Amino acid sequence: MLGKSYDFDEPGLLSVISVGVPGKRTFFLVIGEKEEWIRLWLEKEHLEALSIAIDQFIVRLSQELRQYSNEPSIQSSGDDLPVGLPSGEFEVDQIGIGFDNEKVVFEFLVHALGPQNVDGIMVSCRINPRKVRRLGNLAREICAAGRPRCKLCGRPIDPTGHDCPMQN
Ligand SMILES: [Zn+2]
């Protein structure tokens, strides 16, 4: 069953936020305009994968189209937070990224699940390369701001301690 669909063309608001303390953080993608926006809940692994995918895209693009290699990315800042409550909140199921060579925009296609996990929500979003790079940086910063990782096994260390499988 296909539920609602959202379509954003160069949204003014495109950000990543985390809520909660390290180790128990919840991650959201925020898309829309200040007064009309949606919140997409996603796993940290999803967010990490997204930042890596964006990085790879940017690298490939800067090789193909030289003009992007020197273009500075917009610095992440906290001034683009939404106002009020989202008009929708969904759980990310899958994210696809594409690039339109003619229009020089990225295309995000998100398949999300509604509150009962039965409705398929489609979110499509077109954004320019600078904003995509900013989103990728933001995603990476937010992922890295979590718990420190163990040097032996690479798993996150909780404030309460770490039971390392490599230290038996
Ligand atoms: Zn460890």
- Digits of tens for pLDDT over the chain (168 positions)? 557 899 999 999 999 988 888 778 899 999 998 888 999 999 999 999 999 999 898 888 877 766 554 555 555 455 567 788 898 899 999 999 998 888 889 999 999 988 776 678 999 999 998 889 889 989 988 888 877 888 899 888 887 888 999 886
Whether 150 is covered by a domain: the verdict is: no
- Domain count within the chain: 1
What contacts 24+ positions apart, CB below 8 Å, involve 152-156?
156/23
Ligand 1 ion: residues within 5 Å (CB) = 150, 152-153, 164
Q: What is the largest CA-CA distance in the chain?
A: 56
Is residue 156 one of the residues assigned to a domain?
Answer: no
Q: Is residue 158 part of a domain?
A: no
Is the alpha carbon torsion for 40, 44, 46, 47 positive or negative?
positive
In a domain, 161, yes or no: no
Q: Please give the residue range of the domain that contains residue 127.
A: 2-144
Q: Would you say residue 166 lies in a domain?
A: no
Q: Is residue 7 part of a domain?
A: yes
Measure 68 CA to ligand 1 centroid, in angstroms: 39
Cα(163) to ligand 1 centroid in Å equals 7
Domain membership flag for residue 160: no
Task: Output 91-95 pairs: Cβ under 8 A, ≥24 positions apart.
Answer: 91/40, 91/41, 91/42, 91/117, 92/29, 92/40, 92/41, 92/42, 92/43, 92/46, 93/120, 95/42, 95/46, 95/50
In a domain? residue 151: no
pTM: 0.77
Select from 15, 52, 20 the least CA-distant residue to 146.
20
Distance from residue 158's CA to the centre of ligand 1 (Å): 11
